[in-house]
Amino acid sequence: MTAPHPGPSGPAPWPHRAWRAVADHWVLAVGLLVLAYLFLPIGMVVALSFNEPAGRLSYDLDRFTLDNWADPCGPAGMCSAVVRSVQVGFLATLIATVLGTLMAFALVRHRFRGRAATNVLVFLPMATPEVVLGSSLLALFVGARVPLGFWTVVVAHVMFCVSFVVVTVKARLAGMDARLMEAAMDLYANEWQTFRRVTLPLVLPGIVAAALLSFSLSFDDFIITNFNSGTTVTFPMYVWGAAQRGIPPEVNVVGTAMFAVSFLLVAAGQLAGRRHRRGNRVPGGVGSR
């Protein structure tokens, strides 16, 4: 009985190899295309920050210049609006992060009457249109005879930032292993030591992510701010007002700088996390025991 003749052992024909390459990398290719689509407006903002337009209402790439970066505060009132937006964003982020983190711990760690209703109510500011939320807050401030200005903007921003903080920190807490805290308590750590040495380091990335998201939402908000700002002018309101007579190119400088700062913060966080994981894998590290 003769053995069957073996098939050809050479490389597969090129159509098969090409189809195999496409099948193996099409998800990566689609992801890169989506990222390119998302970053296209950002790239345009960066390009316009180095552009000298031909006229006030021209948004074409006419001539390269560094004058916009040399004097970003050239347009009157722009830098003061940026500083005011940073102040509002910092205060709103600080208050919303503290309140939202406490609410997230309460919703995840404790069982109480009305917990399910509270979970639903937390999502309502996120699902409510900003026009409705802004007009409702305006009616509240006017009815309470609160003068509109800087602090009403801060209160309004805290109102919608708290929900995003709760959702972000709650997701981080839900993914934590409760046995780690139980092990710390078994090793004679009290509640404060367990929180400081185990719980807080594990939940800190979620808190930082929630704070960054809150600051971005606060700095970027226009609709709710427009209802409750009074005579206070933030950066988005300045851009909206300037659009009627021509947006100065220095606005793109501010946008590029904000994107660069955000990118550096995210990159630093990723590098720190990678170094921490690499340190846990080396011999003698925590993860090697």
Cα(28)–Cα(34) distance, rounded to whole angstroms? Answer: 10
Contact criterion met (CB below 8 Å) for 63 and 52: yes
User: CB-based contacts of 231: which residues, under 8 Å, 6+ apart?
Assistant: 148, 149
**Three-state DSSP class for residue 171:** helix
User: Given this model, what pLDDT does residue 15 score?
Assistant: 66
- pLDDT value, residue 107: 87
d(CA 161, CA 130): 12
Name, in order, each residue with C-beta under 8 angstroms of 249's C-beta and a sequence gap of 6 or more. Answer: 48, 49, 51, 52, 53, 68
pLDDT of residue 5: 53
Q: Is residue 141 within 8 Å of residue 148, measured between CB atoms?
A: yes
Query: In which region does residue 284 sit, left (phi positive, over 0), alpha (psi from -120 to 50) or beta (all else)?
Result: left
- Digit-coded pLDDT (tens) for 99-129: 999 999 888 888 888 888 888 888 888 888 8
Residue 13's pLDDT is 66
Query: What pTM was computed for the model?
Result: 0.79
Q: Report helix, strand or coil for 12.
A: coil
Question: What's the sign of the alpha-carbon dihedral 35, 39, 40, 43?
Answer: negative
pLDDT of residue 217: 92
Q: Amino acid identity, residue 263? A: F
Which distant-in-sequence residues (6+ apart) come within 8 Å of 71 by Cβ?
250
At 51, the amino acid letter reads N
> What confidence tens digit (pLDDT) does each residue in 10-21 have?
555 666 666 776
What's the sign of the alpha-carbon dihedral 221, 224, 227, 228?
negative
List Cβ neighbours of 119 (8 Å cut-off, separation of 6 or more): 107
The whole-number pLDDT of residue 289 equals 44
- Quickly tell me which residue has 């509640």 as its tokens: 191
Low-confidence ranges of the chain (pLDDT < 50): 1, 285-289
Q: What is d(CA 161, CA 89) in angstroms, rounded to the nearest whole number?
A: 10
